[in-house]
A and B are shown apart, each in its own frame.
Chain A
């Protein structure tokens, strides 16, 4: 069963628009960790944020913000005033404390974001 669902396959916005990338997860663990990674066209994976299951505080980092809601098992990512450099594939991932695979990440399928001028 898919543990992390990113329902949006592709999103296209015009520069300066706000955009929200959705992430829904599934786990039976009480202790788990959620991550967002960015994969620009150059192909590397860039860590953006980590959130643990006990910390539901939202976080803002510049134009990026994250909304973690345990009640809906969601960890959404919003880019405010998008820029062309934000064009990338964004992955949401889950790590579980009781994982039988050494804290390996369960990745969603990714959302491809295209920001046009």
Chain B
């Protein structure tokens, strides 16, 4: 049972570099989400998707982009890494209803130096 798989688990980037955080789920969930977790701040929504080809901004989208070409995959792109993007990133997925819990990946710890 893979659930939600995030890669990589850790990464250090230099300011201005780009990278893609990968997220894949094997539960056939329509809804997928990216959150970031900063110390003492809980998790904040970056982007979400309600199905293949449909994405929308969350609370803190600046500096990020997403795409959803398949039901399974929801990559998060950082184009020009900035120190403010140092965080732990979580991908999650769920069925198309608020009553079901979201399933989270193990997170990607990203440091921008």
Contacts and interface: CB of A to CB of B under 8 A. Distances in A.
Interface residues of A, number: 27
Contact of A108 (B42, B88, B94): B42
B43 A50 contact: no
Interface in B47-104: 48-50, 56, 58-59, 88, 90, 92, 94, 96-104
Contacts of A102: 31, 33, 48-50, 56
Contacts of A32: 98
B99 A50 contact: yes
B45 A101 contact: yes
B40 A103 contact: no
Given A33-B98, A43-B107, A50-B101, A101 B56 contact: yes
B interface bracket (residues with beta carbon within 8 Å of A): 20 to 34
Contacts of B35: 105, 107
A98 B78 CA distance: 30
A21 to B, nearest CB: 14
Interface of B: 31, 33, 35, 40-45, 48-50, 56, 58-59, 88, 90, 92, 94, 96-104, 106-107, 109
Interface of A: 4, 9, 31-33, 35, 37, 43-45, 47, 50, 52, 91, 95-97, 99, 101-105, 107-110
